[in-house]
Structure 1
Amino acid sequence: MKHLALSVAAISLAAFFGAPAKANDDLTYKVVRGDTLIGLADKYMLRASDYRIVQKRNRIANPHVIPVGTILKLPRTLLKFQPSTARLSSVKGQVTMTEGNNAKAVSSGQLLSEGQAVKTSGGAFASLVLEDGSRISVPSNTDLKIVRLRRYILESALDYDFQVDRGSARSKVAPLKSANDRYQVRTPRAVSAVRGTDFQTRFDYSTNRDFAEVDEGALAVGVKGGSELAVPAGSGLAVNADGSALTEALLPPLAIDGAGKLQNESSVRFALAAQKTPVRVSIAKDAGFEEQLADQIVSGADADFGNLDDGAYFFRARAISAKGLEGLPATYAFKRRLNTISGSAGSADEGWVFKWSGQGRGTIRYNFQLFRNNTDGPAFVDEAGLAAQQIILSELPDGDYYWRVGSVQFADGETNTNWTPLEKIIVASN
């Protein structure tokens, strides 16, 4: 995994009573020759008279005379801006947009603006692309509000502010170009402010805890009492209901045997082997998991996603620690080509009848094999290229036989074969 250079991030926790923290609510401006507070207010502020607020905040004696090089702090709430938008790049399932008391379904390609909120139901997913190329993935059962989505006239500084009231959001943030650019995601007791990183923020309603997991970049966490916790890449943060916080190294990526193999059975399954902790597993159409299709937490040995359309996909797994933090991802590419096959064998007056059937797209041909006594040598009967779904064999000598049938699929310029398990029949003269 390639780490972004000079990635910087900060999380400020709220006070004990849980009100959202405010992070970096000022823009800074370096005074150049000819600047006056009145002139700056006329150019950059919503109201020209607000220069007095800036004068008092920065302790400027004369608004007409400011030393060159002075760093002014300008509250964001006073500044002129242009509205920005977020585009829904991917929508799956029941996804709604709310604004005030109005809610309506959304679709891929739709633009969202400041003040609106996105809600995903169970089994639904959405991804947003921002003006600077940053992306937010919104999984199932999440409420995400767009608090701010604007570009200030001053330095064209970006201000992206999101709030997760339920569920989670994964952000892949483009490196910010200006020191005044801001990207932050709030949960009930934390504000994650980042500058070019890959991280996830979550609020678990059932445990009333906030989480942040960092794949790339770094976090500096201010906690109650003024202490600071360092959360580097590969680490996570959990904030308890009382405002206390803990950090730990994220569990390493899981090694999953056969995760990249062709999936041709009726159900898409991955063998996770014996895991000591639960695992969050996801499937998407892209490696960045912006077009996510499925997501679940598995406590057993297998992850079963049911039937999927044929295509190319990505599978991701994260082990979940005892403290609830999701570990580093293991991501695998795989192909889905439905090609099932099952068969049966029985005796009839005309001999032994072997029948089979299956499901799959494209051209299907069958390969029937029958082995006598053992399967070590060549097949006793080996018929390939069959279009029919049965074969009748008469006058088989007495003995033990093992048979199987393969479904040979030709689709999208590729060939794949799926075999039934070897089954045994005994031929004995009456």
Structure 2
Amino acid sequence: MPAKVGRSWFFLPVAALLAAAPLAAEPMLRYTVRPNDTLSALARDFLVGGDYREVQRLNKVADPYRMPIGSILLIPDRLLRTEPVVGKVVSFRGSATIDGRQAALGGEVRQGMRVETGANASIAIAMPDGSTIALPSQSRILVDRLRRILLTDGLDRNFRLETGRSRSSVIPMKDPASNFRVTTPLSVAAVRGTEFRVAVDESGERALTEVVAGTVGVAAGPDPAEVAVPRGYGAISTPAGTEPPVALLPPPKLLQLEKTETGVSIVAERIEGAKAYRVELATDVAFLNIIEEAQSDEPSISLALPQGATFFVRLTAIATSGLEGLPGIYAPGVRRSAPPPAPASGPSADAGAAEPLPFQLWAEPRPLPIRLTGHGLVQPRAIAAHTSLR
């Protein structure tokens, strides 16, 4: 088999795929011809069936044994030899199913499977490279592609969000053959390493992309132009295309966190331009293992939790447009300085500092100390019952 080192394979950008009529009907790979390459050898080693004639016709190659070095071959994706990649369930709660069967920790997720969550449920799936995709309540994805391209070991991952919301944390990809996409009936969000959310609203007429870290390319509608959505911005896609990105609402400050008889009471800062607020509790700072979530029109909400529960708090404000803002993530104690920028794999503690600890619910109602971790700046704060942070 020819050596894989130095070969230049990569997926066409979303915009190029949409614009390359009449080839836009199916995904293509671009291959840059290297010295000593022949079309017949490439087909023998890396194409299904080893037949080069379709690629020859598509690219108008006169001699399959001689090709100009540096020329570009377009190769239909369906002709590439691949091997399956297996995702693993790293957390779930409630009614989270894979192909209709209840999820289990460590359960395998493969190409072609459908993952779905019911009311008050969630699931998180990890890829072999450490990237994750998580679904909150009442969401569904089809694992459209989850495979490895044999030529370069590039990962080809495409998740089709059919309803609800998703949150992806993607490890930066150095191999140009690798990709990570979340598609909806209205849009394609393509990344090479970032943290972002994709949602389909209840009407089914709008897809929302919100970028927490990195940059996401979004394409939708009849216009093939790909819109770059940077960190801290969101974009709305409709059948007419993708609207210009707008700044996301800032993370709400946590003003009060108090133990109640049934769980915990949370009061957040009111954000101008917000129509609703989302509160999530998780046992880990990356928020893969969510234990409770709720949405409210007001920045205050009570959640039921068992005694002894430990958790982090994540707050977001939802704009009137429906775009969800940047997250504020809280843990006990005070920080000495602001955290560094969060990596694509998720929030982390300060370099050299101890990992933040989750909140602990005691048997008796009492106020809990808090701090902000992960995204955003942090200032030393203290909290007392029924008072604002000071």
Q: TM-score, normalization: structure 2? A: 0.76
1:89-128 maps to which residues of 2 (within 5 A)?
Answer: 89-98=90-99, 103-128=100-125
> What amino acid sits opposite 2:179 in the alignment?
R
1:26-425 maps to which residues of 2 (within 5 A)?
Answer: 26-49=28-51, 51-98=52-99, 103-206=100-203, 208-223=205-220, 224-240=222-238, 242-243=240-241, 245-259=243-257, 263=259, 265-276=261-272, 277=274, 278-333=276-331, 334-340=358-364
| Secondary structure in 1 matching 2:263 | coil
> What amino acid sits opposite 1:37 in the alignment?
L
Number of the residue aligned with 1:396: none
Identical pairs, percent? 31
Residue 145 and residue 313 in structure 1: after superposition, are their counterparts in 2 closer, same or farther (change >3 A)?
same
Is the CA contact 2:218–2:229 (under 8 Å) kept in the aligned structure 1?
yes
TM-fit CA distance, 1:248 = 1.0
- By percentage of residues, which structure has more strand? 1
C-alpha separation in 2, matches of 1:274 and 1:29: 52
Alignment RMSD: 2.8
C-alpha separation in 2, matches of 1:28 and 1:310: 55
C-alpha separation in 1, matches of 2:363 and 2:189: 46
Residue 227 and residue 83 in structure 1: after superposition, are their counterparts in 2 closer, same or farther (change >3 A)?
closer
Residue 34 and residue 225 in structure 1: after superposition, are their counterparts in 2 closer, same or farther (change >3 A)?
closer
The structure that has the greater radius of gyration is 1
C-alpha separation in 1, matches of 2:293 and 2:224: 37
C-alpha separation in 2, matches of 1:341 and 1:207: 43
TM-fit CA distance, 1:140 = 0.6
> What amino acid sits opposite 1:56 in the alignment?
R
> What amino acid sits opposite 1:249 in the alignment?
A
Is the CA contact 2:33–2:72 (under 8 Å) kept in the aligned structure 1?
yes
> What amino acid sits opposite 1:74 in the alignment?
I
TM-fit CA distance, 1:188 = 1.1
TM-fit CA distance, 1:67 = 2.3
C-alpha separation in 1, matches of 2:137 and 2:17: 26
TM-fit CA distance, 1:271 = 0.9
C-alpha separation in 2, matches of 1:220 and 1:85: 26
C-alpha separation in 1, matches of 2:147 and 2:329: 34
Residue 154 and residue 251 in structure 1: after superposition, are their counterparts in 2 closer, same or farther (change >3 A)?
same
Q: Say whether residues 1:25 and 2:27 are aligned partners.
A: yes
Q: TM-score, normalization: structure 1? A: 0.69
For each residue in 1:176-224, what CA deviation from the matched residue of structure 2 results, as whole angstroms up to 9, or x when unmatched? 1211111111111001111001000111124631100001111344453
Residue 301 and residue 149 in structure 1: after superposition, are their counterparts in 2 closer, same or farther (change >3 A)?
closer
Unaligned runs of 5+ in 1: 1-8, 16-20, 343-417, 420-430
Is the CA contact 2:48–2:79 (under 8 Å) kept in the aligned structure 1?
yes
C-alpha separation in 2, matches of 1:205 and 1:22: 29
TM-fit CA distance, 1:150 = 0.6
C-alpha separation in 2, matches of 1:328 and 1:81: 37
- The count of corresponding residues between Structure 1 and Structure 2 is 324
Unaligned runs of 5+ in 2: 1-11, 332-357, 367-383, 386-390
C-alpha separation in 1, matches of 2:232 and 2:285: 19
> What amino acid sits opposite 2:40 in the alignment?
I
For each residue in 1:211-248, what CA deviation from the matched residue of structure 2 results, as whole angstroms up to 9, or x when unmatched? 00001111344453345533211100112355463431
| Secondary structure in 2 matching 1:38 | helix
